[in-house]
Structure 1
Amino acid sequence: MNEDHYFTASPASADERRHVTVTLAGRELEVETAAGVFSPGHVDLGTRVLLRTVPEPPATGDLLDLGCGWGPVALTMALEAPGARVWAVDVNERALDLVRRNAARLGLTNVEAVRPEDVPADVRFAALWSNPPIRIGKDALHGMLRTWLPRVAPGAEALLVVQRNLGADSLAAWIDREVAPGTAKLASAKGFRVLRVPGPAA
């Protein structure tokens, strides 16, 4: 099952954008969203579970929100770690435009909203948080995780939220076997698992 928001769309026009109020980093904030991105009307349940589970992000370094949508994870990272550089990565140009607009609206100058190929190859991440696009299909998802999980810095970790009914446990087993030994369930809530994926040993 493929959904339009997993693929590219042109930036939303002024008429297409709408303002919604959300809670991020413990603050009530107004952001812009639009149809054609994931969960345009609110912070989805999986992302809420992830953001309630993660520790405070590292204060410095490069942080990654993989599959950023309109930006709830990236904006949270940027609000909580103003001294870090936050990479909001997506293939959907509409999503990236919304992240840029929301970062500017919130006065966040530490957010880089870019396509995957625009992240410099030598960047290693002090944290990777993601609500990954499970519905793009197993092969595409595995390819994405094979690309990005090894870019977590030694001693750092990735935290992924995946719905249990969409294969969270089998995905954790695959990551542990094929990409990052030591991957395990960190938390479980409301039908979602939060997976902890360790970076390479130092």
Structure 2
Amino acid sequence: MTGTDDPQGEHYFTARPASAAQRRTVRVPLAGQDVEVETAGGVFSPDHVDLGTQVLLRTVPQPPAAGDLLDLGCGWGPLALTLALTSPDARVWAVDVNERALDLVRRNAAHLGLPNVVAALPDDVPDDVRFATCWSNPPVRIGKPALHDLLRRWLPRVAPGGDAWLVVGKNLGADPLQRWLTDEADLPTTREASAKGFRVLRVAP
């Protein structure tokens, strides 16, 4: 899924995993560490941790130490890998529609020794799983109706007492999205930070 820092304005969807020739290795900061990950073209922000995700990571509190945690629209995995590095006793669901992205998440989790990461297509997540938290740089460029459907599907699955953290570009509709979440989706939402053209929203279902 595409995040909110996409200079090409594209929604990435790649059915095939990247070949060895297509994959490349980059070093990125995650969970206070400088780590090596694999990325490839055909996924969002393949060469670095995008600015929106950086803003989110600087804002969110420490994730729960246990339970099921969700990265919705995981891409190559910066949020999912951070969750897994920070909470090794939790199960981290990295969810995306892009098979190439999921393959990269699996490779990166294996390389970093993170057996607690489960990279899955949306329909492969069991219906009874409830999440202690959700971190997401959601795919706003898929359009408002599709984005609303996506959030209506996943945010109510946050467990009582849990929350979801979303980063959305101000110029890509962060403020109207906050109003829609609170007023129409009945998902109370507050703005927790605003930086570098992005809003960080906390949803407490």
Q: What TM-score, normalized by structure 2, do the two folds share?
A: 0.94
Q: Deviations over 1:62-82 (max 9, x none)?
A: 000000000000000000000
The answer (yes or no) to whether the contact 2:75–2:102 under 8 Å persists in 1 is yes
Which residue, 74, 93, 99 being the options, matches 1:93? 99
Q: Is the 8 A contact 2:63 2:86 kept in 1?
A: yes
- Distance of aligned partners of 1:48 and 1:2 in 2 relative to their CA distance in 1, 3 Å threshold: closer
Counterparts in 2 of 1:52-71, with a 5 A limit? 52-71=58-77
Offset, 1:177 = 1.1
Letter in 1 for 2:66: T
Q: How does 1:169-188 map to 2 (within 5 A)?
A: 169-188=175-194
Distance in 1 separating the partners of 2:151 and 2:198: 18
SS in 2 for 1:126: strand
Match of 1:11 among 4, 12, 17: 17
Q: String of CA shifts for 1:150-185, please: whole Å, max 9, x gaps.
A: 000011100000000000000000001122442110
TM-fit CA distance, 1:4: 4.4
Moved over 4 A (4+): none
1:196 maps to 202
Counterpart residue number, 1:106: 112
**Matched residue, 1:127:** 133
Alignment deviations for residues 114-169 of structure 1 (CA, whole Å, 9 cap, x no partner): 00000000000000000000000011100000000100001110000000000000
Indicate yes or no: 2:161 matched with 1:155.
yes
Q: Which secondary structure state, in structure 1, belongs to the residue aligned with residue 161 of structure 2?
A: coil
In 2, are the aligned partners of 1:9 and 1:36 still within 8 Å (CA)?
A: no
Q: Which amino acid aligns with 1:102?
A: N
SS in 1 for 2:159: coil
Give the one of 24, 34, 37 matched to 1:31.
37
Between the aligned partners of 2:183 and 2:19, the Cα distance in structure 1 is: 44
C-alpha RMSD of the superposition? 1.1
Aligned counterpart, 1:75 = 81
The answer as to 2:57 corresponding to 1:51 is yes
Q: Deviations over 1:6-32 (max 9, x none)?
A: x23310000000000000000000100
- 2:14 partner amino acid: T
| One-letter amino acid of the counterpart of residue 3, structure 1 | E
Question: How far does residue 43 in structure 1 lie from its aligned partner after superposition?
Answer: 0.1
Gaps of 5+ in 2: 1-7
How many pairs align?
198
- Provide, for residues 29-51 of structure 1, a one-character-per-residue CA deviation record: whole Å limited to 9, x for no partner: 01000000000000000000001
How many angstroms apart in 2 are the aligned matches of 1:147 and 1:172? Answer: 16
Cα distance in 2 between the residues matched to 1:157 and 1:179 = 15
Separation (CA, whole Å) in 2 of partners of 1:91 and 1:102: 18
Instruction: Classify the secondary structure of the residue corresponding to 1:156.
Output: strand
Query: Which structure 1 segments of 5+ residues have no match?
Result: none
Calculate the TM-score normalised by the size of structure 1.
0.96
